[in-house]
Amino acid sequence: MAATTAPSDRLSEGVALQSLYFLGLLLFVITLLLNLVADRFVRRVRMVY
């Protein structure tokens, strides 16, 4: 009974939670792509010099 009247710290299912998951996935993909590009750049520079 108290759980229904007390405010909860959990996010409700819906747009807010989906937005957080999408933002986390987007940041992961951006980081992965930047790491791949940087790795290719380092390999190319390392071979030349």
pLDDT tens-digit series, residues 9-46: 665 678 889 999 999 999 999 999 999 999 999 998 88
* Predicted pLDDT at 25: 98
Can you tell me the distance from the alpha carbon of 5 to that of 26, in angstroms, rounded to the nearest whole number? 36
Query: Quick check: 4 pLDDT over 80?
Result: no
5 is written with which tokens?
């009247």
Query: Quick check: 5 pLDDT over 70?
Result: no
User: pTM to 2 decimals?
Assistant: 0.64
Please enumerate in sequence order all residues whose Cβ is within 8 A of that of 20, keeping only pairs 6 or more positions apart, or say none.
11
Domain residue ranges in the chain: 25-49
